């Protein structure tokens, strides 16, 4: 599924990297704990999180996440957005809480990271 | 430089500087990419370096991340001046943490740092002296992909 579709499903807005909405997402991880995100062995995963500080973007770069969706209406500071632009990591924001966001994406066939990640 | 086949560089890390935390690890990652190291190795080095760098930012006054890259392996040394680790065995247990609320708000401090560093290493060694500091020696062999 491409990021643009995820944006529609979650009624999300784009905060950074508006021109990268055509990237493919194969799996989703939902966590506020960056150490937890760093234990994944897959790359190209979409992160759903309520953690809006710069560490979310740094973690995305280190763990090679495809993009980040901030849930429950949380908005990052400007420095987080700037870092994401610089590192080319798309940021989205949705008003939906984490559970609903996960549920909607799962319903549309997006799997978690415990499932084998399919080739795009 | 010990010999021509080894690339070495060090990056300073400042304790408490959350805004720049992770920058050293990102630079290490960029260097490995430029050299053309395999993606799996880059990922393991980057994750181990980042967890270690976060520990310096969270717990120490100052420190540095040193990386040496040879055709055989990547060696990361993360050394700091700080409070040190009282009980390394305990710190190696998943879930054990002495993190403050501020650290947890950054998405860290869940007691997964050292175990995750070890998981990504082929060889892993922690030495620490309470009140002085900590040194972490991480070795990741190239053989799997290059």
pLDDT attached to residue A116 = 56
Share of chain A above pLDDT 90, in %: 88
The residues in A 81-120 lying below 8 A from B, measured between CB atoms, are 87
- Is A118 within a domain? no
CB distance from A77 to chain B under 8 Å? no
- d(C-alpha B12, C-alpha A50), whole Å: 30
CB distance from B26 to chain A under 8 Å? yes
Minimal C-alpha gap between A105 and chain B (Å): 23
- Is A89 within a domain? yes
**What kind of architecture, by CATH, is found in domain B7-141?**
2-Layer Sandwich (3.30)
Domain boundaries, chain B: 7-141
Share of chain B above pLDDT 70, in %: 95
- Is A101 within a domain? yes
- Mean pLDDT, chain B, integer: 92
The tokens describing B73, both together, are: 């392996």
Q: Are B50 and B23 in contact (CB under 8 A)?
A: no
Given B18, B107, B113, which is nearest A51 (Cβ)? Answer: B107
pTM of the model: 0.90
A31: containing domain = 3-112
pLDDT digits (tens, 9 = 90+) for B28-55: 999 999 999 999 999 999 999 999 999 9
| B112 to A63: CB separation less than 8 angstroms, yes or no | no
CB distance from B90 to chain A under 8 Å? no
Q: How many domains does chain A contain in total?
A: 1
CB distance from B108 to chain A under 8 Å? yes
DSSP state string for B25-42: HHHHHHHHHHHT--HHHH
pLDDT digits (tens, 9 = 90+) for B65-113: 999 999 999 999 999 999 999 999 999 999 999 999 888 988 898 899 9
**pLDDT surpassing 70 at residue B144:** no
Note the residue count of chain B: 146
ipTM of the complex model: 0.86
pLDDT attached to residue B146 = 43
Check which CATH number belongs to the domain holding A100 and give it.
Answer: 3.40.1390.20
pLDDT attached to residue B145 = 45
- d(C-alpha A73, C-alpha A112), whole Å: 22
pLDDT digits (tens, 9 = 90+) for A57-106: 999 999 999 999 999 999 999 999 999 999 999 999 999 999 999 999 99
Q: Which of B50, B107, B111, B117 to mutate to test the interface with A (most CBs of A within 10 A)?
A: B107
- d(C-alpha B88, C-alpha B97), whole Å: 11
Residue A52 has φ and ψ, to the nearest 5°, of -105, 5
- Is A119 within a domain? no
Banded model confidence at residue B140, pLDDT cuts 50, 70, 90: very high
The residues in A 34-63 lying below 8 A from B, measured between CB atoms, are 34-39, 41, 43, 49, 51, 53-56, 58-59, 61-63
**pLDDT surpassing 90 at residue A117:** no
């Amino acid at each position: 599924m491409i990021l643009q579709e995820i944006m529609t499903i979650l009624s999300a807005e784009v905060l950074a990297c508006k021109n990268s909405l055509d990237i493919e997402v194969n799996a989703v991880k939902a966590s506020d704990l960056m150490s937890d995100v760093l234990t994944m062995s897959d790359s190209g995963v979409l992160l759903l999180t309520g953690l809006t500080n710069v560490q979310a973007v740094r973690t995305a770069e280190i763990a090679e996440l495809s993009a980040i969706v901030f849930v429950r209406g949380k908005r990052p500071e400007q420095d987080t957005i700037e870092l994401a632009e610089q590192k080319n990591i798309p940021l989205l924001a949705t008003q939906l809480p984490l559970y609903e966001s996960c549920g909607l994406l799962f319903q549309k066939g997006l799997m978690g990271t415990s499932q084998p990640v399919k080739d795009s | 430089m010990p010999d021509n086949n080894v690339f070495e560089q060090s990056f300073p890390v400042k304790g408490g500087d959350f805004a720049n935390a992770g920058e050293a690890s990102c630079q290490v990652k960029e260097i490995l990419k430029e050299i053309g190291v395999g993606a799996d190795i880059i990922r393991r080095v980057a994750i181990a370096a980042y967890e270690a760098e976060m520990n310096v930012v969270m717990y120490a006054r100052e420190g540095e991340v040193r990386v040496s890259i040879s055709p055989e392996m990547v060696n990361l040394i993360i050394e700091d001046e700080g409070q040190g680790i009282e009980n390394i065995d305990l710190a190696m247990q998943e879930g054990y943490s002495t993190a403050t609320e501020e650290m947890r708000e950054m998405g860290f401090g869940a007691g997964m740092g050292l175990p995750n560093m070890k998981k990504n290493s082929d060889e892993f060694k922690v030495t620490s002296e309470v009140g002085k500091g900590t040194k972490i020696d991480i070795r990741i062999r190239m053989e799997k992909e290059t």
